[in-house]
Amino acid sequence: MIFHSGRSPWPWRFLALGALLLAAFWPLAPLLQTLLSPQEWASIFEPRLAGLFAQTLWMSALSGLIALLVGWPTAVLASRLHLPGFGWLHFLLPLPLLLPPLLLAQAWHGLTGMDGPWASVWSLGLAYAPLSALFVARALRHQQASAHESTLLVAGPRFALNEMFRVSAPAAILGATLAAVFASTDFAVPDYFSSLGDKFSVYPAEVFNHWRSYQGDPATLKQGAAVAAPLVAVSALALYAAFVLRDRAGALESNSSRIAKPMRCGSLCIPLSVALLSFSVLLFFLPLGRILYETGATGPESQGSWASHATAAFSDAVQRGRSDLGHSLALGALAGAFALLVAPFLAHFWLQLGGHHQPWRKRAARLFGTLLALPLLAPAVGTGLGAILAFNRPGWEPFYDSLLMPGLVLGGRYLPIAVFLLAERMSRIPQARIESARLTGMPYLFRLLYVRLATCRDAWLLGAGLVAVFAIRELDLAVLLPAANASAAVRYYNALHFARDNFVAAFGLLITLLLFLPVAIHALFSKPNDA
């Protein structure tokens, strides 16, 4: 036999799926039960909850829209245009994603005094705009160089810009959908803005309230986890629609390794630079500037300069937060390692499922992708309650009380991000390279490791890194799980509620710096792979 398929991939896939079930789906069991049980739905839609549900939907849709309107053009302008003085900007794109959303909320409140639901919409939209921007930047990075150059030959920069927006539209919409999903599951930011001014509530608050009223009866926790079901169902539908759009957009396979150079914009240079500067001010400079200012801001009565207060705040943050930062790093490392090990098998499986032209396989792949994303779509507080139900049982105490449990749950929750990134990158490996490896008779694991992952190392590490980053900045889930209480995010949350503004700002910047360092090092030293 000339063609040799090697060992079956299925044992590895079952292992990966088993790990996913344990880490991500077991805590979701109460929620999934509700999704599948019609009589539970009826109780969820009593008028008060329905109103809360509608409010959360419009708020998250608007946050998604803001993420789209800010993230999409920012990514196009920063990553593909040659605008003098802005070469470094694409490097800063992920930065706001690393800032805890609560920190950004605090900065926007400090800057404008905003509060109430609109403040929450605005702040969460901008907090997740970089998600849309990152998806767009990655899509544009793979725009065929000759397709871009032919737009230049036909009609110049305006038309080339139009094509860039067209090519990146599905990625922008997918990113904005995820931004809306994240916004809909956030509890801390709406809670913060509600505590400052106009009182309002969102759906995840309902989940959180069940935890607050928990007095030892597991039924309360189960109800709390289950109440998030409608939100997850709507988010899943939105994500499925985004997958359909992405698949319909069509992509041209190319074996060319040439990447289009940043475009010179001629007479459009000044207006485009102004646009990019405006977006950058909104995304980075205003909130970061405000947070930096907060580190040394004082009341009218207090003594000492801004610098002395800021120095004291940073030294306080380092001193008090050191052990919490250590715990957060360990949590992030566990979640990242989980993603590093599991994501390749699931990404490859997902890709193979949809890699044929039969429509049913495309549909199956979209469905699998949506199922895979469920842990990400559930409010973190719901997952937290589910994790307590799943793992807080007699004989499991060493596991429940260790960092391993929250590390695993956080790794499972954010795993879809790593899988999506890796699958997108793997889909661009020329088929001939994979087939020639199969012809050599190389077993599945070696092919995955030496052909696919060796080519996609960049996306593999980026995905695991993002999972680690999201795990470190996760607040809602960390508040609920005792083993994750000693984390930087929880200390930050507590300090914010005790109005220790200088400490909060300094500690927030420390967390951000800590998260940004690996991203910065990755960005500085990574080279675009071929394929």
Partner 1 sequence: MTASIHIQNLSRTLGAKKILDGINLSLEDGERLALCGPSGAGKTTLLRILAGLEPADSGTIQIRGQLATKGSKVVIPPWKRNLQMVFQDLGLWPTRTVLRNVSDALRAAGRSKAIAESSARTMLDRLGILSLADRKPATLSGGEARRLAFARALALEPKILLLDEPFASLDPEARQQGQLLLEEILTHTKATLILVTHDADEAKRLGGQSLNLHDGQLS
Applying CB under 8 A, which residues contact partner 1?
144-156, 158-159, 162-163, 166-167, 169, 249-256, 266
Say if residues 33 and 226 touch (Cβ distance below 8 Å): yes
Nearer to partner 1, 60 or 168 (CB): 168
CB within 8 Å of 280: residues ≥ 6 apart: 74, 78, 89, 92
CB 530 → partner 1: shortest distance, Å?
14
Backbone angles phi, psi at 335, to 5 degrees: -65, -45
Quick one: 51 or 271, whose CB is closer to partner 1? 271
The b/e string for 394-423 (b: 16+ C-beta within 10 A; e otherwise) is eeeeeebeebbbbbbbbbbbbbbbbbbbbb
Q: Which is nearer to partner 1, 261 or 457 (CB)?
A: 261
In DSSP terms, which residues pair with 144 in a beta bridge?
259
> By C-beta, is 363 or 500 nearer to partner 1?
363
Phi, psi of 249 (to 5 degrees): -60, -30
For the chain, the farthest-separated pair of C-alpha atoms sits apart, in whole angstroms, at 86
Strand partners, 81: 263
* Phi, psi angles (nearest 5°) of residue 104: -65, -40
HSE (CB half, 13 Å, CA atoms) of 24?
25
- Are residues 279 and 77 in contact, defined by beta-carbon separation less than 8 angstroms? yes
Instruction: State in angstroms the smallest separation of the CB of 354 from partner 1.
Output: 14
Residue 370: CB minimum distance to partner 1, A = 23
- In the complex, what is the shortest distance from the CB of residue 359 to partner 1, in angstroms, rounded to a whole number? 13
At position 237, the amino acid (one-letter code) is L
Q: What is d(CA 179, CA 417) in angstroms, rounded to the nearest whole number?
A: 12
DSSP conformational letter for 260: P
> Shortest Cβ distance from residue 86 to partner 1 (Å)?
21
Closer residue to partner 1, CB minimum distance, 253 or 401: 253
- The SS3 of residue 27 is coil
Which is nearer to partner 1, 266 or 394 (by Cβ)? 266
Q: Which two tokens stand for residue 52?
A: 């809360």
Task: Report, in Å, the least distance between residue 108 CB and partner 1.
Answer: 35
Give the contacts of 136 (CB within 8 A, at least 6 positions apart): 71, 72, 75, 76, 79, 168, 171, 172, 175
Q: Which of residues 1 and 252 has its CB atom nearest to partner 1 in the complex?
A: 252
In sequence order, the β-bridge partners of residue 259 are: 144
Query: Between residues 22 and 147, which has the closer beta carbon with respect to partner 1?
Result: 147
Shortest reach from residue 136's CB to partner 1, in Å: 14
Instruction: Write out the H or E segment, with its range, that includes residue 51.
Output: helix 47-80
CB 147, min distance to partner 1, A? 5
Q: How far is the CB of 251 from partner 1 (least distance, A)?
A: 5
User: Residue type at 71?
Assistant: G
Q: How far is the CB of 144 from partner 1 (least distance, A)?
A: 6
Cβ-based nearer residue to partner 1, 30 or 157: 157
CA–chain centroid gap for 54, Å, is 23
Q: Please give the span between the terminal C-alpha atoms of the chain, in angstroms, as a whole number.
A: 30
Q: How many CA atoms lie within 13 A of 192 on its CB side?
A: 32
- DSSP string over 291-321: HHHHHH---TT--S-HHHHHHHHHHHHHHHH
Residue closer to partner 1, measured from CB, 261 or 393? 261
CB closer to partner 1 out of 267 and 315? 267
Phi, psi for 369 (deg, rounded to 5) = -60, -40
Structure tokens of 209?
Answer: 């309230």
Kindly tell me which of 245 and 330 has the beta carbon lying closer to partner 1: 245
Q: Kindly compute the dihedral angle of the four CA atoms of residues 208, 213, 219, 223, in this order, to the nearest 10 degrees.
A: -30
Do 74 and 93 form a contact (C-beta atoms < 8 A)? yes
Minimum Å gap between C-beta 142 and partner 1 is 11
* Cβ proximity to partner 1, 118 vs 159, nearer residue: 159
Q: Kindly state the tokens that stand for 308.
A: 């002395």
Tokens read off for 86: 């802005």
Residue 158 CB, shortest distance to partner 1, in Å, is 8
The residue among 8 and 255 lying less far from partner 1, judged by its C-beta, is 255
Residue with tokens 């920190």: 103
